[in-house]
Amino acid sequence: MERKGKAVVGGISIILVIGAVVGCVVVVSTRNKGKDKLSSSSKAVIAMCEPTDYKEACVDSLAGAAKNQSASPKDLIRSAVEYTVQQVKAAIEKSGIIIKEAKDVNSTGKMAFDDCNELLESAIESLQYSLLTLVDADMPKINEKEADLKNWFSAAMSFQESCIDGIPYEDLKKQMSEAMQNAEQLTSNALAIVSSLSNILGNFNIPLKPNNNPSTARRLLDVEMETDEHGTFPTWFSAADRKLIAKQNKKNNNAGNGQAVKPNAVVAKDGSGQYKTIGAALAAYPKGFQGRYVIYVKAGIYNEYVTVAKNQNNVFMYGDGPRETMVTGRKSFADGITTQDTATFIVVGHGFIARGMGFQNTAGPEKHQAVALRVQSDMSAFFNCRMDGYQDTLYVQAYRQFYRNCVISGTVDFIFGDSTTVIQNSLIIVRKPLANQKNTVTANGRKDQRESTGLVIQNCRIVPEEALFPLRFQIMSYLGRPWKMYSRTVIMESEFGDFIQPAGWLEWQGNFALDTLYYAEYANRGPGAVTTGRVKWKGFHVITDRNVALQFTPGNFLAGGLWLKGTGAPYFLGLKN
């Protein structure tokens, strides 16, 4: 797709050609400001569209609102988002036509288009979240909502891209990509507008009020702790959170003393609970439930495919340990199933928390893509959990996610997706792949340079499994490769051994994304962390400035100070050292 920017003539004049709003060509020159006779609505459109990459699409999206001479910046932004929603809905309708007219499409192809519709519906929901924010927001204080808006627009882009990626036929993929072009461009534009709000509102003489959000207003080097009758917690933990977690800790530390936390549902294979399957417990989730819904899954191997649905928010699911409570499956791409549908455990409902559970896909390396856990839950967190597989083990698909004290194993691209994710204090195990494969720990899917997404691995250990260790110099292992144009992965304060190739990172295909990606390492340790032999790509960085590294800590990257407090587990928001 062509990216249209502003044209600079002779270093003096900025020319913007905009015809869709006022029915004519408008030229704005910095030499003739005094003679500028544009209507206020046209000026507003120019200001709003100036930072976008797809200006013609931007103008079209603002045409309706711009007819109103008194339209406010909020009105214009809302109009752009509403128009984007219409275009996504049009893409859904087009997808139905494409698959209906397609010939010789197997079940995998049909499944891919079903996935497409589901993903585009998720994109619409993300855009609608932004609309709700814009309705309620006071424009001078809109910067306090900037992180949320970027998160939702980024997720909408991720869902749109996932739709196209999942189609296994190149001709149908091309048709669907063309059908979604307007929606993708408009979502990118919305993200560009939100990313430039201070400049845009300045053009309207609307000053932004200071951001009092503690997660972005100051650096969070660590969590202040205090001790009370329930134990030691971050200072901002509520009394209810402290009591709940204290009970959970009591149960974990004193298993023979009975269950301290009273769950809403108990799952047990032996029939000692209310339900024998996790799916049955989730099916009992009350409609319109408010608060935290707690599900205790007793020790056992649960051979089932589980989905925490989009209307099942704020589920807290805990087990008896990641090796004791295990959810297992073996679906794979080689068996004719789309990658996202191979997942053993899928989380869609927002605010999901898991503790002491295992998720695995046992399809094996010969079955290629086989997901153990797929997550598109905003503000989700996993503590003391285990994700085991080979290729594509953990699909961090979208939104903000946090992993702490977990074990994640795999071979090819086994931590992948386009979310805003931090993995902290965890063990990452690289397994033995097929004979002709290379190991890549990560494959980030960030497509647009303004997306707030990316993958951060902090204070973790990256190690080879026992079967790989004697072959670690014959089988090449890398920290990651760029799945999309603006792939972003940061590994910091972590330890990895000599099995990581000196180059550190692997190309996806030729020179693709090597200049536009952002790969970085900071304060890592171990023989595999030596950076003197690293790739010489323009997009690769060895971070030496502590302030740069702080941008990728949970307190800043996830705006974690506002929501991690509700997860009830230890973590730190800044740098470890």
How many CB atoms are closer than 10 A to CB 392?
Answer: 28
Strand partners of residue 505: 480
> DSSP secondary-structure letter at 208?
P
pLDDT band per the 50, 70, 90 thresholds, residue 38: very low
Supply 47's token pair. Answer: 């200001």
Structure tokens at 289: 């439930």
**Residue carrying the six token digits 């990459």:** 53
| Top-confidence residue, 157 or 15 | 157
With beta carbons less than 8 A apart as the criterion, state whether 264 and 295 touch: yes
Residue 447 pLDDT? 97
564 confidence band (pLDDT: 50, 70, 90): confident
Q: Please give the pLDDT value at position 257.
A: 39
pLDDT in tens, 334-374: 999 999 999 999 999 999 999 999 999 999 999 999 999 99
pLDDT for 227: 56
Q: How confident is the model at residue 185 (pLDDT cuts 50, 70, 90)?
A: very high
Model confidence at 126: pLDDT above 80 = yes
pLDDT band at 68 (very low <50, low <70, confident <90, very high): confident
Predicted confidence (pLDDT) at residue 2 exceeds the cutoff of 70: no
More confident residue, 145 or 163: 163
pLDDT at 1 over 80: no
CA distances from 8 to 11, 16, 28 (A): 6, 10, 12
Residues 535 and 404: their CA atoms lie apart, in Å, by 29
Percent of the chain surpassing pLDDT 90: 68
532 or 34, greater pLDDT: 532
Q: Is the pLDDT of residue 214 over 90?
A: no
The neighbour count for residue 457, using CB atoms within 10 Å, is 29
Can you tell me the mean pLDDT for 132-154?
Answer: 80
302 close to 328: Cβ distance less than 8 angstroms = yes
Query: Average pLDDT, stretch 500-525?
Result: 98
Strand order through the sheet with 454-458: 265-267, 293-297, 315-319, 353-355, 380-383, 400-404, 420-424, 454-458, 488-492, 518-522, 540-542
H/E element, 252: helix 239-253
Q: Which of 32-41, 372-381, 487-496, 526-535 has the lowest mean pLDDT?
A: 32-41
Report how far residue 528's alpha carbon sits from residue 69's, in angstroms, rounded to the nearest whole number.
61
Residue 213 confidence (pLDDT) above 90: no
CA end-to-end distance (rounded Å), the chain:
44
Q: Which of 53, 60, 378, 413 is catalytic?
A: 413
Model pLDDT, residue 215: 39
Q: What is the mean pLDDT of the chain?
A: 85
Catalytic-labelled residue, pool 378, 388, 392, 448: 392
Question: Looking at residue 505, what DSSP letter applies?
Answer: B
Q: What is the pLDDT of residues 79-119, one digit of tens each?
A: 899 999 999 999 999 999 999 999 889 999 999 999 999 99
The 3-state secondary structure of 75-125 reads HHHHHHHHHHHHHHHHHHHHHHHHHHHCCCCCHHHHHHHHHHHHHHHHHHH
Q: Which residue has the higher pLDDT, 394 or 60?
A: 394
Q: Which helix (H) or strand (E) holds 182?
A: helix 181-195
The residue written with tokens 């009830």 in the block is 568
392 is annotated as an active-site residue: yes
Contact between 537 and 514 (Cβ < 8 Å): yes
Predicted local distance difference test score (pLDDT) of residue 536:
97
* Burial of 106 (C-beta count, 10 Å sphere; 0-12/13-18/19+): exposed
Task: Answer yes or no: is pLDDT of 399 > 60.
Answer: yes
Q: What is the pLDDT of residues 217-262, one digit of tens each?
A: 322 223 344 555 655 443 434 455 456 555 555 555 444 334 456 8
Among 427, 492, 422, smallest CA distance to 461 is for 427
**Residue from 172, 338, 509 nearest 346 by CA:** 338
Residue 94 one-letter amino acid: K
pTM for the whole thing? 0.86
Over the stretch 325-337, which tens digit does the pLDDT of each residue have?
Answer: 999 999 999 999 9
Percentage of the chain exceeding pLDDT 70? 81
Q: Note whether 189 and 53 are within 8 A (CB).
A: yes
Structure tokens at 80: 């752009």
Q: What is the pLDDT of residue 248?
A: 56
